[in-house]
């Protein structure tokens, strides 16, 4: 549920990164956030949805990726679980995995969004 605390966060951030599973329910939640932002703010930070825990073997996940091919994708991978276990960034112990490459691509997208926001001012 979105409330005054979430609205304060929306006012404070430069870009809103929204991780979501590749499912219809998560997509509806994202649509709710977008609707709330449009109703509540004249101008809001750019939104960067990110598919997380993606398993390309699952038909539902593949369908979601086909619908949004430009969204960043973080795969379901044991390396991602190791981030929490090791308490270390993925790049510090596994730079060459597909998960590490996906995180690098995500950060590049975040940097582009931030740069675009600075250019607009």
- Find tokens 């490459």 and name the residue: 101
Tell me how far apart the alpha carbons of residues 93 and 101 are, in angstroms, rounded to a whole number: 13
How many H helices and E strands in the chain? 5, 3
The domain segmentation of the chain, as residue ranges, is 10-120
User: Tens digit of pLDDT per residue, the chain (121 long)?
Assistant: 678 888 888 888 888 999 999 999 999 999 999 999 999 998 888 899 999 999 999 999 999 999 999 999 999 999 988 999 999 999 899 999 999 999 999 998 889 878 887 776 5
Q: pTM here?
A: 0.82
Residue 100 CB coordination number (10 Å)? 19
Rounded to 10 degrees, what is the CA torsion of 39, 41, 42, 48?
Answer: -100
CATH assignment, 10-120: 3.40.50.300
Quote the pLDDT of residue 113. Answer: 79
């Amino acid at each position: 549920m979105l409330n005054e605390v979430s609205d304060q966060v929306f006012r404070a951030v430069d870009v809103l990164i929204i991780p979501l599973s590749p499912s219809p329910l998560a997509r509806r939640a994202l649509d709710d956030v977008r609707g709330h932002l449009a109703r509540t703010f004249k101008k809001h930070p750019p939104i960067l949805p990110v598919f997380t825990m993606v398993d390309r073997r699952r038909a539902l996940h593949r369908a979601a990726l086909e619908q949004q091919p430009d969204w960043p994708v973080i795969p379901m991978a044991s390396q991602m679980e190791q981030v929490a276990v090791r308490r270390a960034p993925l790049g510090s112990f596994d730079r060459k995995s597909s998960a590490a490459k996906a995180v690098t691509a995500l950060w590049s997208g975040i940097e582009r969004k931030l740069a675009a926001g600075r250019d607009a001012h």
